Every structure is written in structure tokens, then in C-alpha cells.
Amino acid sequence: MSTETSTPKEEQHQFSAEVERLMDLVVHALYSEREIFLRELIANSADAMDRRRFEALTNEACALPATPQIRLSVDKEAHLLTISDDGVGMNKEEMIQNLGTIARSGTRAFEKELKDSKPEDRPNLIGQFGVGFYSAFMVADKVEVISRRAGSDEAWSWTSEGKGQYTLAQKTRETAGTDIILHIKSDADEYLESMRLENIIRKWADHIAWPIMIKQGEEERSANEGTALWRKPRSEITDEQLEDFYRHITHLFDKPLATLLWHAEGVFEFTSLLFIPGMISPFAPVDQERKSKVRLHVRRMFITDEAEMLPAWLRFIQGIVDTEDLPLNVSREMLQNTPVLARIRKALTNRVMSELNKLSEDTEKYEKFWDLFGAIFKEGLWENGEHAESILKLSRFYSSTQEGFTTLPDYVSRMKEDQEAIYYLAGDSKDILASSPQLEGFKAQGIEVLLFTDAVDAFWPDRVGKYADKPLRSITQAKEDLEKLMGDVEHVNSEEEEGLLKSLQEILKDKVSEVRTTQRLVDSPVILAASAGGPDLQMQRLMRRNDKTMPTATPVLELNPNHPWIKSLVLKAKDGKDINEEAAILLDLARVQDGEMPIDPTLFARRIATALTGK
């Protein structure tokens, strides 16, 4: 971002290219209803009020006024709509960070500042000004933000027409908080009518606990009830209200796959309103923390979304949990150690698992859920023993013999009578796995193999070990199993074949642990296998790709003794001919078949060209 100062108190700034693209997307494509801008701006104001309330716990200078509220003021003659709040406000640097760049929010910066400090609580809010702020340009051709940071006497303004630049200038504001002044477009006059604004607020923001007031002329009235939706009986809540609240809390624009409203009573009491989203946020960071962000409320008031109300493998669940059994100033230590929260977490996890069992009865919905969140859900197989059996039953997999998804119970029901293990092959995609030479011998024997396509699939089978008393075994480590299933067709190497194996072992001695023949290949000449007792090949690849160290285990190179190429190599080795080039091609070909690059791609290409042309 470049900056040039026009006066000592006024500065011109350029938006980053990302913000310009984002604004264009928001204004022209992201929102189907223009009125959504009001929901976004009011949500930002409510978050700023929450944040100031929490800062006031440890900083008296941030104390809220006697009657904190969010105010909407309409000036029809001037074509202005102003949204004001008594929130934490912003200083100059925060304005630049929050309104001039993407992927930054005041709340994220606030989290970082307090990560290692001692405040009683550390709220993580939706974001004081995030993506939703730019929706203001759907209805305004100019937006001005005037803000004064709580605890500071200095105020600043941010002004932009949404066309590549914005202006920062010093201003005055009597109290801490923020004013957002929208210069309403000529085709958006409806948003200068108080009744229209009130209807929008009741539709999108009626649940917000802070009072929202609308003033037009001399008339001022309340626009929201401030009733916590999750506290109402289900019979009093419409599906539309639930969907609106889902969109508010998740900032997504679809309908949830499932909604769970639960009022738990007994030794401890809490209410939860949870959603299984119907999409993944397009703005979710790639390196998103592996933590649940379900919001914890105490007596309706937001406390934090850092309480990890659900395990990490259920972090796709979004929503709130509200309890009466904690103090409003609950400390970080209490969040970690209180038995009340431990019991709530356990009950909540069990309830979510029950909901997923119910959802699994709807094949279409569950497959959509699995496509979105299956890879995250299976992390529970690695991390958690208590729910492993349930997770296994709810897991879905591709198969070498079945269309669509299948389950472990269904796989076990189809196992051959003499089959001892559940066989799987892990890789990067269903299509690549389905055509892998690794499957050839199992297909020939009519043995079904599960196709594991997620990164976590390379790890959890070793942790889980077995299902229904059947061991889980990668077919890259199942040579003896296949030979037993094949019975009397076991191949005995001839003296000439043994000579080839010894020659190849000598040539490739630094790259493979063993060279041997195999009966599990039908059409392919060569394949890689894991060495005895070594980790699965896919696990090794994943560790290397993620720069993770693990004990080196050179693979085994297996040859198909019935393939014409291998037969020709047997004769060449017998006659003492040079097979160094073909040995290197064999190994590289086996690597390519398993989704790896050749050891030297350029040299591999040259060798193939030479083999095909003789030049």
C-alpha cells in the first residue's frame, strides 16, 4: 500500500489490490439482497460493544456509558444514514488495518495482543470490521467512518468512494465509539425510511442483546427485542429465524445441513444452538487453527469462542452454548479446569454424534456433509478413543468394487469367507487409486479394497488397528495375505529370474531395500511395496511433502514375472547384457504409478525417448 500525505492531518491511501477485488465481489456478486449491508454493519457494532465491555474488565478507561446502544439516524434531505455505536472504537492504525486491507480484523489483532497477557478473558468475536463492512458500498456511493478508541482522546475519520483509495483525517468525537455515515445512492432511497430499517433489523438482528434505536426527525424508537433466539422453545422459532441466525453467526450464505437446538437440564443446565454448515467459508484461511470456535455465552452474554466446546475433529460445527452455571467474569484458568465445562463438552459431543447418526439416514445430505467435512471428522480416529467406534461407523469410503460411498459395516458384510483383513489403498484421488497397479492382484481374486483419499487416511488405520475384529491393512503391505488367498498359484523363481533379481538389486542397491517377484500384478510390469515392518508408502509421501521427518524406509521393488518386458530382461541378464538404463526406468515407472516424481525427471524423459527410438 502506498501513502502520500497531502496535509499534516489528512492522508490519501490506496486500497490493496485484494480489497479492490473483494469490494467488487461483495457489491456485484456476493450478496443477493442489498439489505444485508445493515445486518453486517450492526453485527460489527455489536461486536465492538462486546469487545469494549471485556476491555473494561481490566481497564477502567474503557468503561461503557450508562446506557450503551446502537443508533441509526436518518437524514432524508442529505441522503445520509448514520450507524453509531458505543463500542471500543479504532485508532488510526486500526483503521488502516481493518478497513484498508483484507484478511485482517480488529478482533484478530486483539487476540494476538492478549495471547500471552493476563486479562481475565479474551473474547474472539466475529470481527469488528471484516468482509461484511464492504457491503456498505452496495447502497452507498461514499462511506465515512469516524471513530475514537476507548481510552483515547483522539478521533480519526476514514472516507472512501470505494474506487481504489481512501482518506484518513483527524476528527473530533465527544465519546469513544464509531459512526458509519453512508451517503445513500439514488436507487437506494428505501434505506432512508425508518420503517424499512426497522423491518430489516427485526429480520436480521432482533436477537442482538444491545439496544438498537432508530431516529428520524424528532421520532426515536427501539428497533429490536434483544431476545436470545436460543433461549426460546423450538415451537416459538421459525425455520426462517434459525436460518437468519445461522447466517449471522457464520457469515455464510447458504442453509445449514442440520440444526441442533438443545436445552439440557439436570445437575448442570445449558442451552446450545449448533449448526452443521452447508458450505465451507470462501474466506476461511488455509492455515485455520485446529480448534473449535463454538461461542460460549453466560446468561446470554458472549464470553469467548476460545473455550473449545467441541473437540478439534468437530471444529466444523458452529453455533453457541449458553449456561447459567458460570460467572460472567469467568477466567481463562477456569475455562480450562472447571468441571462444569468439562461435563458440558462431553454432553455436547455426545449430542452432536447422535445428530450425525440421525443425519446419516438421509443419504443425500450425509454425502454432502462427508464431502465437506469428512476429512476433518476422521481426525477423531487419530485423536480420540472414546468415539472411535462411532466415527468408524459414520465414516464413508470409496471402494474398488462399489459405486459411490460405502461403510466399514457394509464392507465387512461383503468380505470373502477366507479373507482375514480389511484392505485399503491410500492416495491422492479416487480416480488415480482406482487405476493403480497395486489393485491388480486383489481384483483378480475378487477382493474388495477401500480407497482412502484424504491425508489423514495414511495415519489413523495404524492407531485404530482393527474394526469388527478384522485388522486394517494397506495392500502395499499385504504380499503374504494375497499369496495365501491365491493358494497354489504361488510363483517359484527360476534360476534365470533369480539372476535378474540379483542384478537389479546390485544396480538399485541405494534406492530399494529388495527386488522380488510378485503374483499380485496382472497387466503391469513393476510396482513398489513397503518394506517389512516399514510405514505405508502413502504415509511416507505425506510426511515428505509436509517436510516432516520420519525414519527412512526404502521401498521394495516387485516385478511381474509374466510380463513380456520382465521376461526380456531375464534373457538380457542371463546373456550378461547391460540393463542399467532399464533398471532405472523400472524404478521411475514404479514411482510414477504411485504418484511420485521420477528421481530425475529430465533423465527419465531422455531414457524413455531413447528406449522408444533407439537413439
Binding residues for ATP, by number, are 40, 44, 85, 90, 98, 105-106, 128-133, 178, 332
Q: 59, 117 in Cβ contact below 8 A?
A: no
Angle, in degrees to the nearest 10, between helices 564-574 and 495-507? 90
* Three-state secondary structure string covering 60-114: HHHCCCCCCCEEEEEECCCCEEEEEECCCCCCHHHHHHHHHCCCCCHHHHHHHHH
Q: Give residues with Cβ within 8 angstroms of 138, minimum separation 6.
A: 26, 27, 31, 34, 37, 188
Name the E strands within 434-491: 450-452, 466-467, 470-474
Joined together, the cell numbers standing for residue 54 give: 471485556
In whole angstroms, what is the distance from residue 302 CA to residue 227 CA? 14
Q: 165, 14 in Cβ contact below 8 A?
A: yes
Let me know the angle formed at the C-alpha of 593 by 592 and 594, rounded to the nearest 5 degrees: 90
Joined together, the cell numbers standing for residue 147 give: 471513530
Q: 58, 52 in Cβ contact below 8 A?
A: no
In whole angstroms, what is the distance from residue 237 CA to residue 231 CA? 10
Q: How far is CA 536 from the centre of its chain?
A: 26
Look up cell 481475565; give the residue.
Answer: 120
Closest CA to 231 of 169, 309, 300, 287: 300
Q: How far is CA 613 from the centre of its chain?
A: 49
Specify which residues 12 forms β-bridges with. 4, 167
Count of beta carbons in the 10 Å neighbourhood of residue 603 = 14
Name the E strands within 243-317: 258-264, 270-276, 295-298, 301-304
Joined together, the cell numbers standing for residue 47 give: 461486536
Positions at the binding site: 40, 44, 85, 90, 98, 105-106, 128-133, 178, 332
Residues found in the chain: 615
Buried b (16+ CB within 10 A) or exposed e, 164-184: eebebbebebeebbbbbbbbb
Closest CA to 440 of 517, 522, 527: 522
Closest CA to 290 of 394, 357, 382: 382
Count of beta carbons in the 10 Å neighbourhood of residue 546 = 8
